[in-house]
Amino acid sequence: MPSDTDRGHRTPGTTPGDAGRERGPVWPVTALVILVGWCLLAWTVLVVAIDTAPFFGETASRDRYVESGMVALTALVPLALVVGLGLLAGSRWGLTLLAAPALLLVPTGLSMLDGAGDPAKAGYGRGVAWADLFADATRLNWVATGVLLVVVAAVAWWRRRRQASTRADP
């Protein structure tokens, strides 16, 4: 009789704890995770573009550049949680479709934080403050972070409970 550590009798996609049980396809979960992540990315790009767009030849203020930079940088937190959720669900290489564009937010956010803005407007030389992390435009990122933390904790708890029950059943 082969043991649980023998790889010859397992079907592809099963782990030693799941020996004998088929695992469902992972691609629907990966597709859902990528769709949620792209929605967060689209919202971030939309806010950054509208905040700093030169509508009617007007240059954005320093406050707008700082706000846009913080939106881009704080979007990394929920996107990292979405990628972590995908990893917990079994997704692997498909997550690069989300992780690669998410990494582009780092140079975008940093370049926005460096933007000087219109010298004729107030706050031209102001620096970046901690309060900028929690500005109005970053609120969705923080709400999404809170919701995703709860979801990741629930999925991790459910997986741990499922693994404990499969070890207990002979």
- Total residue count of the chain as it appears in this document: 170
CB under 8 A, 24+ apart: contacts of 142-146: 142/74, 144/40, 144/78, 145/77, 145/78, 145/81
What's the pLDDT score for residue 20? 42
CA atoms within 13 A on the CB side of 106: 7
Paired tokens of 122:
């107030």
- Predicted pLDDT of residue 23: 65
Separation CA 157–CA 9 (nearest Å): 29
Number of Cα atoms under 13 Å in the Cβ half of residue 138:
21
Q: Would you list the domain boundaries of the chain?
A: 24-168
Whether this prediction's pTM lies above 0.85 is answered by no
For each of the chain's 170 residues, which pLDDT tens digit applies? Answer: 454 544 444 445 545 444 444 567 888 888 999 999 999 999 999 999 988 888 777 788 888 888 999 999 999 999 999 999 999 888 888 888 999 999 999 999 999 888 877 777 777 778 888 888 898 889 999 999 999 999 999 988 988 888 877 766 55
d(CA 8, CA 4): 10
